[in-house]
Chains A and B, each alone.
Chain A
Amino acid sequence: AQSVTQLGSHVSVSEGALVLLRCNYSSSVPPYLFWYVQYPNQGLQLLLKYTTGATLVKGINGFEAEFKKSETSFHLTKPSAHMSDAAEYFCAVSDRNNDMRFGAGTRLTVKP
């Protein structure tokens, strides 16, 4: 079965600083990998996804993630944090049957 581990339930950065949210996955088949963002009292919104092809994936709002098979990782980064980036971020892994498993989430706080 697939699973995802997000390292760090809370991450705090200063505005303008680098954002790095860590995600490691476990999958017996080539995975599809996702990052979702959740703002308070809202559903999940897709930031980016990796299915096949280029391992560096660019998403919305300046976020990107790199699929590293050797490290079984899919870390999310953004060069410069903005106050509006404060939210909960979820990494997820899916197989070809759309069986998606989510990590526990990382709450990002951005300090002025």
Chain B
Amino acid sequence: EAGVAQSPRYKIIEKRQSVAFWCNPISGHATLYWYQQILGQGPKLLIQFQNNGVVDDSQLPKDRFSAERLKGVDSTLKIQPAKLEDSAVYLCASTSLGAVNYNEQFFGPGTRLTVL
């Protein structure tokens, strides 16, 4: 089974520019997460989708970050405008609600963002 796909793997931008990240979860996984992992820290949840609806976006800086999952499959996370402190790895994860793997999140390789 194919894993969680993310692109691009690396992105370098200047502050105040915009950037977008893409995630394609494992086929059939209804729940999708975006995490921000700052160097030296654990991942922090930004937003959680259930199909195409938002379950939790309480930690998403909504003045500059936005995310969508229009068809309930792949998702896009956008930052506009970027700040220096947004430099981090952005991880996408997905999970199914099946009995065996419930609560196990499968992670993509991440997108490393550097804001100069």
Q: How big is chain B's contact interface, by range?
A: 20 to 34
Closest A residue, CB atoms, query B3: A43
Is A43 in contact with B103, judged by CB distance below 8 angstroms?
no
| Residue in contact with A42 in the complex, picked from B56, B104, B105, B109, CB distance below 8 Å | B109
Q: Specify which chain B residues have a CB less than 8 angstroms from the CB of A103 in the assembled complex.
A: 42
Is B103 in contact with A32, judged by CB distance below 8 angstroms?
yes
The segment out of B12-20, B43-51, B66-74, B78-86 that lies at the interface is B43-51
For window 3-49 of chain B, which residues contact chain A by CB distance below 8 Å? 4, 31, 33, 40-45, 48
Is B104 in contact with A102, judged by CB distance below 8 angstroms?
no
Interface residue A84 (Cβ < 8 Å from any Cβ of B): no
Q: Specify which chain A residues have a CB less than 8 angstroms from the CB of B43 in the assembled complex.
A: 44, 90, 102
State the majority secondary structure of interface residues on A.
Answer: strand
Expressed in whole angstroms, the minimum distance between the Cβ of A3 and any Cβ of chain B is 11
Candidate in A32, A45, A98, A99 with the most chain B CB atoms within 10 angstroms:
A98
Interface residue A82 (Cβ < 8 Å from any Cβ of B): no
Closest B residue, CB atoms, query A4: B42
Given contacts A102-B43, A105-B42, contact A45 B103 (CB under 8 A): no
Interface residue A77 (Cβ < 8 Å from any Cβ of B): no
Is A46 in contact with B44, judged by CB distance below 8 angstroms?
no
Given contacts A44-B91, A44-B107, contact A98 B48 (CB under 8 A): yes
Taken residue by residue from 24 to 58, chain A's Cβ proximity to chain B (1 for < 8 Å, 0 otherwise) reads as 00000000101010000111111001010000000
Is A98 in contact with B91, judged by CB distance below 8 angstroms?
no
Q: Specify which chain B residues have a CB less than 8 angstroms from the CB of A42 in the assembled complex.
A: 109-110
Question: What are 25 pairs between A and B in contact, CB < 8 Å?
Answer: A9-B40, A34-B104, A41-B110, A41-B112, A42-B110, A43-B108, A43-B109, A44-B43, A44-B91, A44-B93, A44-B107, A46-B105, A46-B106, A90-B42, A97-B55, A98-B48, A98-B95, A98-B105, A99-B48, A99-B56, A103-B42, A104-B40, A104-B41, A105-B40, A105-B42
